Chain A
Amino acid sequence: MTWFASHPLAVVLVPLAAAALLASAGRWLKPVAPWIAVLGPLTALATGAGALMAGQAAATAGSLPWISVGDVVLRVGFRVDSLAAIMLVVLGVVASCVVVFSAGYMHGERGWSRYFAFISLFSASMAGLVVASGLVELFVGWELVGVCSFLLIGFWYDKPQAADAARKAFLTTRVGDVGLLLAMGLIWARTGSLSIDGLARAAATLPAGVVTAAALLLFLAAAGKSAQFPLHFWLPDAMEGPTPVSALIHAATMVAAGVYLVARTWPLFALSPVAQGVVLVIGTFTALAAATVALTQTDIKRVLAYSTISQLGFMFAALGAGDWRAAIFLLVTHAAFKALLFLAAGSVLHGTGTQDLRQMGGLWKRMPVTTITWIAGGLALAGIPPLAGFFSKDAVIAAVMLRSPVAAIALLLASLLTATYVARATQLAFFGVSREVREAYESPLAMTVPLGVLALLACTLGFSATALLEALGAAGGESISAAIAVPAVLAGVAGLAAGWFVWGSDAAAENSFPSWLEAVWGSARSGYGFDAGVVRTTVQPLMTLATLTYVFTDRIVIDGMVEGSAKVVTGISEWLRDLQNGDVQWYGAMTAAGVVVLLTVVVWLTRGA
């Protein structure tokens, strides 16, 4: 581990080599593809753990020039400090579990080697993003995780929904990425450097307006990647990808990169109350709104997708309240319990062939391991002590309370809804009577062992709070405040009870709601029509604009003028057309003559040189 800690570039190079190997020789490596793909995550785990054991002072760094012109040098480099190390551990653990799980889940799939090659490429990109010491290399990792997400959402590319979802995910996050690009431009123009450490030093010397602008641009990028309102609508569609991919990329790691970006560039946000306020409002709103949508979904993966959006909202609320360490704490615990929930959902899908909650029911008898691990993840998500989510959610709400009691109350309400949708989904899937699913089998060991590992983490990670916060440089470590913990736990228990009993008595309870609630419910189920609205107001007008501009401006106006003036020289054209008589000998002769003339002219003109 010491070796890994002192050679941190291995976290990028090992999975990259694995990806290259699987891409080029995957055909012959089929039996060992998962073993090759797991090397990258294991390297990340070893490096992160090694760095954490060595402590903050042992942060390793290095850089080399990427483009240099005279005295202007764009450097790229890496740095492993405790924040990066924690992210590497998260990546290592979740990705290892996901690779092992995939070995069972993806068994017999066409494109097996391609799948593990993409997973390896993702590991390399995510690790690169995490260890980046400057914004250029961070942006490289940022875009590459995006393209891996694109490739994996569209893994079953001949399925139109999957192909559309992949494109939507890439383009929506790219709208956000433009924020990162412009932030880099602004910072480059103002400081002449893109190193993150340099940014921390330079932030204090920049005018307040510039700091706020840069921070908001970075948040735009973060909001795109982390699916925050109004750039959130790609994530539910991303569920078209294989479920282990959803666990890894769209729950635990890539979507958390936005939180990481804000934490990484915290010196800018620290100086801008305006930017913090925006982050707090967006985060809180997203946390609450997404929780209401999660409650209404009938597809188990879409419940989890909206839940992820909501939980990422909690993290941004903590960031907006100024406590980035609490956000990272929730990021870590969420990675464990949400990856667990996704993998458990994948196990259900694998065992039953459906992801529609309305068709399930009573699965606990036939899928006991999946059920128990799902419940562990669900209780952690609901914030029930002493599971992991309780500690981290408490830290987040306590931080927000100090800044804005209104936002804290909104988050408590979101917690209540969280517990309700957890109970609803659990009840519908695993308990009650089996509705349409006739056959269901417990998954093989390759799938249940990762579930067990993650369930263990979901139960125990909360106790790492003090160690984790101290590694990030927090003064006091974790302290549970009763003023927050009591209402939070009450909200969790109340939510669980509500969900449990409402959907326990009638699996289609929403059908017997009063009419006003039914209307709200239906609207929430479609994500309040936001997605369709965006398509209607941006995509279709854009295509119309493109087509009209092409036909009218480009062809009729601009090219029309060209063609019009060309008519003037029709005479010349007629003459040249006569030369073009299709006789090859004639072309040859003309070319030869041309070459001779050309050479003669050159020789004559340069005879003195």
Chain B
Amino acid sequence: MLTSLILLPMVGGVAAWLTGRSAPRMARVVALAVAVAQAGLTALALVVASRSVSGGLTSGLTGGGWPLRLDGLAGPLVALTALLGVVAVLASWRVRKSPGAHFAMLLALQGALTAVFVAADLVVFYVAWEAVLVPMFFLIGVWGHEKRRHAAMKFFIYTFAGSALMLVGLIIVIATTGTTSIAQAVKTGLDAQTGTLVFWLLAVGFAVKIPVWPLHTWLPDAHVEAPTAGSIMLAGVLLKMGGYGFIRLALPLAPAAARAAAPLLATLGIIAIVYGALMALAQSDLKRLVAYSSVAHMGFVVLAISIGSKLALTAAMLVMVAHGLTSALLFLLVGLLQDRAHTRDISRLGGLLRVVPGWGTALTFGLLASLGLPGLAGFPGELVSTLEGFRAYGWWMAVVAIGVVLAGAYNLRALRRVAHGPLVEEWREMRDLDVREVFAIAPLAVGILLLGVWPALVSSAVAPVAEVVAKMLGGG
């Protein structure tokens, strides 16, 4: 079953590509069908897995004969991937340039991402990790905006350099423990010296992906140039590979080194929370603004991972899923705006709520979610990260609090400049959302609301894994 979760989008991607060769306009239909089928299959797999999960790293739904495992840590991210897969297809519905190849890339990306999260084997993990890069590279480099080639190269080289270090780390793990199975390797463990080396090699690879300050500058460039679907997958899922890697591999493989690294990670996380928000405040390009807000939100993930308590690790996952939904919604909305106005410059926009109330309402919702409004997805994870952060680091949370205020400032600044105020005459004829666009927005909005009200949806799945990892770190 897990195998088909990876193969379905891959095969579907080939099908979309083949369809696209003879009937370019049919490729999107095939892609949508595949993405929806994938979402259904994912839901089914999660139901089956939730029946068999008894808790911990070693349980979960395994793939028949393949070293795959769907447990409480992978589950929410696999679900996120499937959901955003559908949204991304809908978002790129009108792609003109070789639609077949575009949708093939999108589906291949989805398959590779799923493989990263369900990999139970270090080699599978690495191969899937690198496989993610290829379709993403082409999505940015071929279907992106003006400076796409530069951005694609920067993205590729930056993250490739990171994963090269990660590969060295993984090879050391395999050589030292004599196994490629993640569970076995964790059980065997590493001695202190090797552990420290492995932790830092892996940490750099993961940190580039998250991205941890100051390794973040590839992100705004990549987002600004990426097509909407690419941005949705990039911010929504790709960044989560880093946080997932920490909790799945780096912390369990080298708990002592992780503890030693906690102050540094916490510092970088806290810096990112404030710095990302401050940078978002300085932007006039709406997409770059959302990209920098990702740096700030992922700062909470880094902070929570550094704390390493079971509650904090759960919070890290909550923040990741919440950010996946929220950033996907915002990038989608910015993309829809760009389709209409051909600009993302907030100084040229204004008063849009009057002409496009549907879009404006969705933007209000998304920006409020991004500033961490209670009742919406961002709140539970960021609240718990701050609470546990206070337990671990005390008054340093006052610095995080500055980031919380700044998050309000940049989100409301964007809302004020784009949606409120007098209408800029140029946009009087702008059309509001159509049915397809509403269908792309709706699942994200529902998810954001659901996770905000009922975080146990994710936290109850993550908790057993978080408990095991926290215990390894010597905490609770």
Residues on A close to B: CB < 8 A? 65-70, 72, 74, 136, 139-140, 143-144, 147, 150, 154, 157-158, 160, 163-164, 166-167, 170-171, 174-175, 178, 181-182, 184-186, 188-189, 542-543, 545-547, 549-551, 554, 558-559, 562-563, 566, 569, 572-573, 576-577, 580, 582, 584, 587-588, 591-592, 594-595, 598, 601-602, 605-606, 609
Contact = CB atoms under 8 A, between A and B. Distances in A.
A577 B149 contact: yes
A606 B387 CA distance: 43
A70 B138 CA distance: 43
Given A69-B462, A171-B408, 12 more contacts: A67-B311, A69-B310, A164-B416, A171-B405, A171-B412, A174-B404, A185-B386, A543-B282, A550-B282, A587-B142, A602-B123, A609-B121
A150 to B, nearest CB: 8
B214 interface: yes
Nearest to A185: B390
A168 to B, nearest CB: 9
Nearest to A544: B282
A178 B214 contact: no
11 contacts: A67-B314, A154-B420, A158-B420, A158-B421, A178-B404, A185-B390, A542-B281, A562-B154, A563-B154, A592-B14, A605-B127
B207 to A, nearest CB: 14
A328 B242 CA distance: 51
Contact of B66 (A67, A562, A606): A606
B177 to A, nearest CB: 16
A591 B105 contact: yes
Given A549-B279, A605-B124, A140 B374 contact: yes
Given A139-B374, A181-B401, A545 B278 contact: yes
A584 B101 contact: yes
B93 interface: no
B121 A606 contact: yes
Interface stretch (B73-81, B185-193, B233-241, B391-399): B391-399
Contacts of A185: 386-387, 389-391, 397
B134 interface: yes
Interface in B92-141: 98, 100-101, 104-105, 108, 121, 123-124, 127, 131, 134-135, 138, 141
Given A67-B459, A70-B463, A595-B10, A606 B123 contact: yes
B167 to A, nearest CB: 13
Given A69-B314, A188-B391, A591-B134, A167 B354 contact: no
A494 B298 CA distance: 61
Contacts of A67: 311, 314, 318, 380, 384, 455-456, 459
The 9 closest A-B pairs by CB, nearest first: A185-B390, A163-B420, A546-B282, A140-B374, A550-B282, A559-B217, A178-B401, A189-B391, A584-B98
A580 B412 contact: no
B351 interface: yes
B163 interface: no
B67 interface: yes
B420 A546 contact: no
A602 B460 CA distance: 32
A147 B368 contact: yes
A609 B66 contact: yes
A175 B387 contact: no
A111 to B, nearest CB: 9
Contact of A549 (B149, B278, B374): B278
A186 B390 contact: yes
Interface in B304-322: 310-311, 314, 318
B43 interface: no
Interface string B402-416: 101100110011011
B251 interface: no
A546 B421 contact: no
Main secondary structure of the interface of B (DSSP, over half): helix
Contacts of A580: 141-142, 149
Contacts of B391: 185, 188-189
B43 to A, nearest CB: 23
B141 A140 contact: no
A547 B282 contact: yes
Contacts, number: 204
Contacts of B413: 167
A188 B387 contact: yes
B65 A609 contact: yes
A158 B467 contact: no
A572 B154 CA distance: 12
B290 interface: no
Interface string B44-70: 000000000000000000000111000
B383 interface: yes
Interface in B161-193: 180-181
B142 A591 contact: no
B476 interface: yes
A348 B350 CA distance: 33
* A174, A175, A542, most chain B CB atoms within 10 A: A174
B273 to A, nearest CB: 13
Contact of A143 (B66, B121, B154, B373): B373
Contacts of B368: 147
Given A185-B397, A189-B391, A558-B214, A170 B412 contact: yes
B211 to A, nearest CB: 11
Residue from A69, A163, A188, A573 with most neighbouring chain B CB atoms (10 Å): A69
Given A67-B314, A188-B391, A601 B127 contact: yes
A70 to B, nearest CB: 5
A69 B154 contact: no
A359 to B, nearest CB: 25
Contacts of B156: 576
Interface string B249-285: 0000000000000000000000000010011011100
B432 to A, nearest CB: 14
A68 B463 contact: yes
Interface in B340-360: 351, 353-354
Nearest to B392: A189
B430 interface: no
A546 B416 contact: no
A206 to B, nearest CB: 14
A143 B149 contact: no
B22 to A, nearest CB: 13
Contacts of A175: 405
B180 A605 contact: yes
A591 B135 contact: yes
B474 interface: no
